[in-house]
Amino acid sequence: MLKIGEVIDGKYKILNQIGKGGMSVVYLAMNESVNKSWAIKEVRKDSQNDASINSIGIKAEINLLKNCRHPNMPEIIDVIENEDNYLIVMDYIEGVTLKKLLDEYGAQPQELVIKWGKQLCDVLGYLHKKNIIYRDMKPANIMRKPDGNVELFDFGTVREFKGMKMEDTIALGTVGYAAPEQYEKTSESDARTDIYSLGATLYHLVTGNYPTVSGFAQGIRASNMMLSEGLEQIIRKCTEHDADKRYQNCAELMYDLEHCDESDKKYRKKQWRKMIAFSSMVCLSLAGVATGITGNKLVLAKTEEQYDSVLERAESSTMDEKHDLYIDAIKIKPGDKEAYLELINKIYKDDKIFSRTEMNEIEEVMLTYGKSLKSDELGYSDVCYNIGILYWYYCDETMEEDNSRFDAVCTYFGKVSKRDSNKDLAEIFYNMANFRRNIQNSITESTDRGEYMEYWKNIDKLIEAILNKGVNDNLKLNSCKMILNAIEGYTEEFKTDGVTKDQMNICLDNVEIISGSVQDDKTEDIVQIKKYIESRLEYVNRKIDTVYMED
């Protein structure tokens, strides 16, 4: 094994071990002359007990990939062969594996899974054009980067496709994700092998369930009825046992992923209904315009009556019943904001925790029905603002530093209309979330100097907005809590960027004023958060005194 601090080839200094598998160890290294981080994969020659794995694993990875360039895979920079090992120097990918996301948070939002699926399909298509078969697609081999995009890594099982050579299809890959032909000697691995594994990976990501043949047969909607029938059909076709029944290449798969809505039965039914409605309108116009107008008014009146009835029933129902009724109301009249806001404020905010399950649900609701709401600019804006607030202030603690949370915050606050009365707050929250999702990458690249001052300016703007704008008590207190946590976490960095002690003290005074303006006797939740703010104020004051002591 390489030693921490060791310098390889006179330029790559080993900083620490960042990964270990059955065939290799991966280290983070720094080329100090250009101040750039690299990943170095060490593969010991004596660790390869199976000569066939050695030949199509290690040498294939080096020889096949060293000339590949694609935004969704690391680039091999250098290869160093020693007596005992191979050292493969490649791009260092910062982020978290999709396996870790699944382990910690379960099923991922369908919209993200489709986005990732298209990126993975694109990189597989690129490799296939070079006659390279990846053969080990799975969440553990996919890294979600800070920018929200994914990269495929660990190319230890790649091979070159050379035509019908059945004997080289050995059982490399991972159970559940590996295609049948990787175990059976009936056919050779080819592009369709990777398509099977991608389908299995998408199944795992969108359901949270480990991929199995029975799971593929039942479909993703057996786990969550809100999932798209179109995506279910795509995954089923990817994971057909018979390779001839799968997508035959990545271009075919990419087309369906890009037109997922159009392959959805709901979409086809909707288009059919539109066609029938159009035909009916033509017939009615021939029979008489007056009759057509009267019929239209009756349909609209019935829809409005049904919608109002469902919302009225929800008022006197249990929490579970309310939830289902609000979803029903959205389906009945997707272009009206009221049902969306009721779902957000009376269901998702009720327990003060916006769970992963609720995140998946609201993403599916917006993906399926949100388009109808866009015709009402301010209504759509209001719903997006409130979803942004859910992600910003109500996520459970496990999501506190997760970049997918910051991505969602930026997405929804970024959709708030310029004519919305909350636009100024939305811009502040967007800027703060954007700082949070990018700061770790800036620290790694040593480019974070100056970014803390910009973050501080947004804290100042938030306090000013709260003091001068009528915001609700929960938003006031959650903002105070967030500001205290930010000052506590970045005291030294704020000081380095030029924030003075007086500025910090004024900020804390304002936090105390805002918190004190909220009455204690409203709810137990408010009492508890005010106690938290009071205790943190004292602690943060002491930390500021300590950091600025030398001044």
Which pLDDT score is estimated for 51? Answer: 44
Q: What is the DSSP letter of 352?
A: S
Q: pTM of the predicted model, to two decimals?
A: 0.51
CA distance 162 to 168: 10
Question: Strand, coil or helix: what is 69?
Answer: coil
pLDDT at 294: 47
Six token digits for residue 284: 């009615």
- What is residue 6's predicted lDDT score, i.e. its pLDDT? 92
CA distance 142 to 119: 11
Active-site residue, 136 included: yes
Select from 399, 403, 498 the least CA-distant residue to 455. Answer: 498
- Looking at residue 395, its amino acid is C
Is the separation of the CB atoms in 386 and 343 below 8 Å?
A: no
**CA dihedral sign, ordered 372, 374, 377, 381:** positive
Among the options 9, 84, 91, 136, which is catalytic? 136
Count CB neighbours of 339 within 10 A.
Answer: 26
- Angular region, 158: left φ>0, alpha ψ -120 to 50, beta rest: beta
Find all residues with CB under 8 Å of 14, minimum gap 6, and list them: 2, 3, 4, 5, 6, 7, 8, 27, 28, 29, 40
Please compute, for residue 478, the number of CA atoms within 13 A of its CA located in the half-sphere on the CB side: 17
Structural contact between residues 68 and 113, judged by C-beta atoms closer than 8 angstroms = no
pLDDT score, position 421: 93
Q: Are 343 and 325 in contact (CB under 8 A)?
A: no
CA atoms within 13 A on the CB side of 139: 26
Size (the chain), residues:
551
pLDDT of residue 273: 54
- pLDDT tens for each residue of the chain, 551 residues long: 788 999 998 889 999 988 776 567 889 999 877 788 899 988 877 654 444 445 445 665 566 667 788 889 988 888 888 887 888 888 888 888 999 999 988 899 998 999 999 999 999 999 998 888 888 899 989 999 888 899 998 765 455 554 444 334 344 567 888 898 887 665 678 899 999 999 999 999 999 999 988 888 889 998 888 888 899 999 999 999 999 999 999 999 999 998 887 766 554 555 445 555 554 554 555 455 444 444 455 555 667 889 999 999 999 999 889 999 999 999 999 999 999 999 999 999 988 889 888 888 898 899 889 989 999 999 999 999 999 999 999 987 767 777 788 989 999 999 999 999 999 999 999 999 999 989 988 888 889 999 999 999 999 999 999 998 878 899 999 999 999 999 999 999 999 999 999 999 999 999 999 999 998 766 788 888 899 999 999 999 999 999 998 65
